[in-house]
Structure 1
Amino acid sequence: MSDEAARRRVTVHDVARAAGVSLATVDRVLNGRPGVRAATAEKVEEAIKSLGFSRDLNASLMARSRDLSVVFFIPDGSNEFMDALAEAVTRRVGQALSDRMHLSTERIRALDTGALAAGLDALDPRTCDCAVIVTSEEPDILAAVDSATRRGIAVMTLVSDLPGSNRRHFIGVDNVAAGRTAASLLGRFLPQGGTVAVIAGSLHLRDHLEAPRRFSSDSLCRFFQYRATRPLRGPR
């Protein structure tokens, strides 16, 4: 690619030409809409990567007849972390308006999957573009996520993932890596072996489940036995 071409911003037209598809197909892939064969979608993704295409959100929003609407479903209750998440969304409301995005928050009773599923089912794609959810992995939630996706609403999981669903993206830490790190550190703290108790809030939440699984099965845990029968011994 010449210096002049490198300076020119890559557009969807460039992606379409490189992938050998129509602009409509590129648009479907970018927006996660159905109707594109897996092999075709892969060509588009490869073109995006090779060209270094970066979507211009402002230009995309200008082409729309309305602003982007995003709703966050966050558990309610006494969890300070969830309260902090809700407050962070509220602080961004004003700034997001300048980018033509409307942010709102719905507080759902913690682990009430029925209420969350009902909330997702009630979303209208004419007024909602994206739902960000914190939830456990239950059949009614998976069904609601898939239904919202089919209606054209992008669903993103926050903190705890739903890899078996049609959610668009996951926002959070790699809990498997976190568990591996914890195992490595405790292996150093307990060089002579010991007993470790792992406390989780709920094993219905994937983020609470993945880390302990990696923690207990990782080869870095060979320094100690994983049992919950005696108190945790600290570093010596």
Structure 2
Amino acid sequence: MSSTSEKGHAKNLANAALLSSYIAQLSAIYKPSNPLLSPDSLQSLYNQAVSDQQAVYNTLPPYTLAVDSREAVFAPLSKKVTKLRKVYKAISGVTPAQVEDFMTLARKLKGMRSTKPAPPENPGENPPPQVSVSQMSYDQRTAGFTQLVEFIQSTPNYNPNETEFTVATLFAERDAMLQATQTVADTYIPLNMARTSRNRSMYLAENNLVDTYNKAKDYLFTILDANTPLYKAISKIKFKKQ
């Protein structure tokens, strides 16, 4: 029910408004014994659901922008690591062992293996399952980048003239990653709370909008002739759990 698409929820609300309009036109004969199906009760349910859905609309854009911003912050990371490898190899006195240590950290950031997985012993057999070496979540990539920068910082003679490769710049980029991920978390919390409230009023509460409006439809079918255009029009109004 926390789908990225809000179309289904909006459709339920639009159909609730439409059914309420029909009920208003039938006020002379619409007299359910269940007080939860009264026009006032239905209107109250609708108003609450509209308010809850509007809260989702209000909190979704900041979250979407935060996700896009984080993606932009992390997008250059792989290319940056490739450049850093070349810078690192050019350091005076750096050893092959140090370069290999650098590459081990870099491969984790890129989700790469140092060697290809071994093929199955028998060609007809499926290859054995491989444990993923990918460290591609945002938290893991940030941690991996931090390890790489700390490793670079500990390397003697690492003192590039280019600002983009200095330790201070690299740590600033790491801090930007941390902040971008934190902003996503900060904006997700109110969105998740809004969706929870919306889902409760529309689908999960004992007297939720979808179930109650479906009951109102059922009642309408008991007082309308099935052969009338009005009956057929109301029968096309659908309320679905999302």
**Bigger radius of gyration among the two:** 2
Give the TM-score category using the shorter length. Answer: under 0.3
Which structure carries more helix by proportion?
2
TM-score using structure 1 length: 0.22
Which structure carries more strand by proportion?
1
TM-score using structure 2 length: 0.22
